[in-house]
C-alpha cells in the first residue's frame, strides 16, 4: 500500500477590484446594492465589468432593491467548509427588484418546503460589513419581520459611504500610493481578501513508498531502471527516459559527492529551514542521480563542488518515512572528488 499523508494548501488571496467591482463592494459596505447596465439594457447584479454579449466595458451603475424573487434554488443538507452556514440552507439565484440577472447566494430557511421558485426574499445584512459579497449574510423570506435597527447603521439605505470598518489594504492604498497602483477614492473599497484553504491527500508511488519505508529503518534504498539500468534514488513510478517503473532494489551508502549547490539567504513565507543554508545536490556513491539536501558542518563559503559528504542522521527514535531523517550532510574530510566523476550530473 503506497504511503499517503494529508497536505493543507492555503493562502489568503488579496484581490484588487478595479472600478466596477470596487464600487459594488463599496456600496455593499453601505448596505446598498448596485448593478451595471449592459449593452443590451439588462441590469447585471452583481455587476459585470465587461458585457457578456459585446465585451464592451460597462460603467453605468443602477441601484437595485434589497428584495427580490427566487429564480431557482437547491437544498444543501450538509454544508461544506466556507459556505455561508454550517447548518442546512438553500442556495438560490435571486433576481433583485430592478435587476435583470439573478445573484447567487444562500437563503436561510429551516426546510426545503419553505423554498419555491417565485418566492420573495430580501437581504439579511452582515452585522459588520467590510466590502465583500459576504456583507450579504444571506437572504431570508420577505415575510419575516424586518429588524428594527442594524447594529451600526440606523438607516442603512441612506447611510453614506463611511471609511470604517476598513477592508484589508484600503488604508494602505489611501496613503501615498505610487503611480499605476491603487484606485478609487480614499475610503472606497478597492481590495477583498479571500482565504482559500484546501485539504488534499498527498500520495507517493509504490516505488517511492518502498524507499520511504526503508528510510524509516535508516536505509537508503534506490531502484534500477530495467531498461537503462540507471540507479534512481528516490525510485520512480516511471523512469523519465524509458517510461517504465524502476524495479531492482539497490541499497546505497550514506556517503556521496556534492555536485552543485546554492546558498539560500532569502527568507520567504512557508520556509521551514532558517536561512542562510546550503541547498546542495548530493550524488550518493553508486547512484546515477543526485538529490537536493542540506549541507552543514562547515561554513557555507567552504562548501565546494566535488566535496565529499556523509549523512548526519537524526536520532533513530525520531525517524519516520521521510528524507528528513537525515538532518543534513556534513563534510567527510576526504579529498574532493575529481570533476570528471560528477561532470555528467550537472
Partner 1 sequence: MKQPAAVLGVGQTHHRAKRLDVSMAGLCREAIDRAMADANVDWDGIDAVVVGKAPDLFEGVMMPELFLADALGAVGKPLLRVHTAGSVGGSTANVAVSLIHSGVHRRVLAVAFEKQSESNAMWALSIAPPFSMPVGAGAGGYFAPHVRSYIRRSGAPEHIGSLVAVKDRHNGARNPYAHLRQPDITLESVRASTMLWDPIRYDETCPSSDGACAIVLGDSSAAHRDSAWIQATAMRTEPTTFAGRDQVNPRAGREAAHALWREAGITDPLQEIDAAEIYVPFSWFEPMWLENLGFAAVGQGWKLTESGATAMDGQLPVNASGGVLSSNPIGASGMLRFAEAALQVMGRAGDHQVDGVRRALGHAYGGGSQYFSMWVVGSEKP
Partner 2 sequence: MAVVGFAQAPHVRATEGTTNGVEMLVPVFAELFAETGLTKEDIGFWCSGSSDYLAARAFSFIAAVDAIGAYPPINESHVEMDGAWALYEAWLKIRTGEVDTALVYGFGKSSAGDLRRTLALQLDPYTVAPLWPDSVSIAAMQARLGIDAGLWSERAMAEVAARAHGGDAVDLLGEPYIADPLRRHDCAPITDGASAVILASGERARELRERPAWITGIEHRIDSGSLGARDLTTSPSTAASARAADVDGVEAAELHAPFTHQEILLRQAIGLGDDVSVNPSGGPLTGNPMFAAGLSRIGEAARLLFDGLHGRVLAHATSGPALQQNLVCVMEAR
Interface of this chain with partner 1, residues 140 to 179, rule: CB under 8 A:
169, 173, 177-178
Q: How far is CA 148 from CA 97, 151, 155, 252, in A?
A: 22, 10, 10, 75
The site partner of 190 among partner 1, partner 2, none (C-beta below 5 to 8 Å per kind) is partner 1
Name which of 122 and 310 has its Cβ closer to partner 1: 310
The site partner of 161 among partner 1, partner 2, none (C-beta below 5 to 8 Å per kind) is none
The site partner of 132 among partner 1, partner 2, none (C-beta below 5 to 8 Å per kind) is partner 2
Query: Do residues 242 and 329 make contact, with C-beta atoms less than 8 angstroms apart?
Result: no
Q: Does 336 bind partner 1 (CB under 8 A)?
A: no
Q: Concatenated DSSP letters for 184-232?
A: SSTTS--EEEEEEEEEEEEE--HHHHHHHHHHTTT-EEEEE-TTT--EE
The site partner of 89 among partner 2, partner 1, none (C-beta below 5 to 8 Å per kind) is none
Q: How far apart are CA 26 and CA 261, in angstroms?
A: 50
Q: Concatenated DSSP letters for 293-314?
A: EEE-SS-GGG--TT-EEEEEEP
- Least distance (Å) from partner 1 to the CB of residue 68? 23
Main-chain phi, psi angles of 174, to 5 degrees: -70, -25
Q: Does 11 bind partner 1 (CB under 8 A)?
A: yes
Find the binder of partner 1 among 151, 165, 240, 253 (CB under 8 A): 240
Chain residues that interact with partner 2, rule: CB under 8 A? 1-2, 4, 7, 9, 13, 15, 17, 21, 24-25, 38, 42, 44-46, 48, 52, 71-77, 80-84, 91-93, 101-106, 112, 117, 132-134, 192, 194, 196, 198-206, 236-245
Q: Which stretch binds partner 1 (CB under 8 A): 24-32, 108-116, 132-140, 278-286?
A: 278-286
Main-chain phi, psi angles of 29, to 5 degrees: -60, -30
Residues present in the chain in total: 346
The site partner of 199 among partner 2, partner 1, none (C-beta below 5 to 8 Å per kind) is partner 2
223 beta partners: 232, 249
Q: Which stretch binds partner 1 (CB under 8 A): 88-96, 117-125, 158-166, 233-241?
A: 233-241
Q: What is the DSSP letter of 247?
A: -
The site partner of 262 among partner 2, partner 1, none (C-beta below 5 to 8 Å per kind) is partner 1
Q: Does 13 bind partner 1 (CB under 8 A)?
A: yes
Interface of this chain with partner 1, residues 41 to 60, rule: CB under 8 A:
48-55, 57
Find the binder of partner 1 among 288, 311, 331, 337 (CB under 8 A): 288
Query: Do residues 345 and 283 make contact, with C-beta atoms less than 8 angstroms apart?
Result: yes
Q: Does 253 bind partner 1 (CB under 8 A)?
A: no
7 beta partners: 200
Residue 296 burial (CB < 10 Å; 0-12/13-18/19+)? middle
The site partner of 77 among partner 2, partner 1, none (C-beta below 5 to 8 Å per kind) is partner 2
Taking alpha carbons only, the member of 294, 293, 328, 298 closest to residue 313 is 328
Name which of 252 and 300 has its Cβ closer to partner 1: 300
Residue in the block written with cell 460589513: 129
Name which of 75 and 150 has its Cβ closer to partner 2: 75
Amino acid at each position: 500500500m503506497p504511503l499517503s499523508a494529508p497536505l493543507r494548501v492555503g493562502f489568503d488571496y488579496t484581490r484588487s477590484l478595479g472600478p466596477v467591482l470596487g464600487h459594488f463592494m463599496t456600496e455593499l459596505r453601505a448596505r446598498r446594492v448596485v448593478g451595471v447596465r449592459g449593452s443590451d439594457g439588462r441590469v447585471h447584479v452583481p455587476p459585470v465589468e465587461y458585457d457578456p454579449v459585446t465585451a464592451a466595458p460597462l460603467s453605468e451603475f443602477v441601484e437595485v432593491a434589497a428584495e427580490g424573487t427566487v429564480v431557482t434554488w437547491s437544498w444543501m443538507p450538509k454544508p461544506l467548509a466556507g459556505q455561508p452556514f454550517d447548518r442546512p440552507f438553500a442556495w438560490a439565484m435571486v433576481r433583485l427588484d430592478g435587476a435583470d440577472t439573478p445573484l447567487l447566494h444562500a437563503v436561510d430557511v429551516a426546510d426545503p418546503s419553505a423554498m419555491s421558485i417565485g418566492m420573495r426574499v430580501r437581504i439579511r445584512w452582515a452585522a459588520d460589513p467590510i466590502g465583500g459579497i459576504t456583507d450579504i449574510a444571506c437572504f431570508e423570506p420577505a415575510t419575516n419581520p424586518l429588524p428594527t435597527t442594524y447594529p451600526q447603521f440606523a438607516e442603512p439605505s441612506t447611510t453614506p459611504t463611511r471609511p470604517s470598518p476598513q477592508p484589508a489594504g484600503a488604508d494602505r492604498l489611501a496613503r501615498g500610493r505610487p503611480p499605476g497602483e491603487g484606485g478609487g477614492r480614499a475610503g472606497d473599497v478597492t481590495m477583498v481578501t479571500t482565504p482559500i484553504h484546501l485539504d488534499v491527500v498527498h500520495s507517493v508511488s509504490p516505488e517511492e513508498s518502498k524507499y520511504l519505508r526503508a528510510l524509516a529503518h535508516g536505509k537508503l534504498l534506490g531502484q534500477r531502471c530495467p531498461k537503462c539500468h540507471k540507479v534512481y534514488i528516490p525510485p520512480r513510478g516511471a523512469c523519465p527516459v524509458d517510461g517504465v517503473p524502476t524495479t531492482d532494489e539497490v541499497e546505497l551508502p550514506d556517503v556521496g559527492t556534492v555536485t552543485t549547490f546554492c546558498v539560500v539567504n532569502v527568507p520567504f513565507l512557508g520556509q521551514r529551514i532558517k536561512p542562510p543554508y546550503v541547498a546542495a545536490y548530493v550524488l550518493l556513491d553508486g547512484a546515477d542521480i543526485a538529490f537536493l539536501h542540506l549541507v552543514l558542518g562547515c561554513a557555507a563559503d567552504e562548501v565546494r563542488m566535488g566535496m565529499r559528504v556523509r549523512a548526519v542522521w537524526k536520532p533513530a527514535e525520531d525517524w519516520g518515512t521521510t528524507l528528513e531523517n537525515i538532518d543534513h550532510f556534513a563534510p567527510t574530510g576526504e579529498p574532493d572528488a575529481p570533476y570528471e566523476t560528477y561532470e555528467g550530473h550537472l
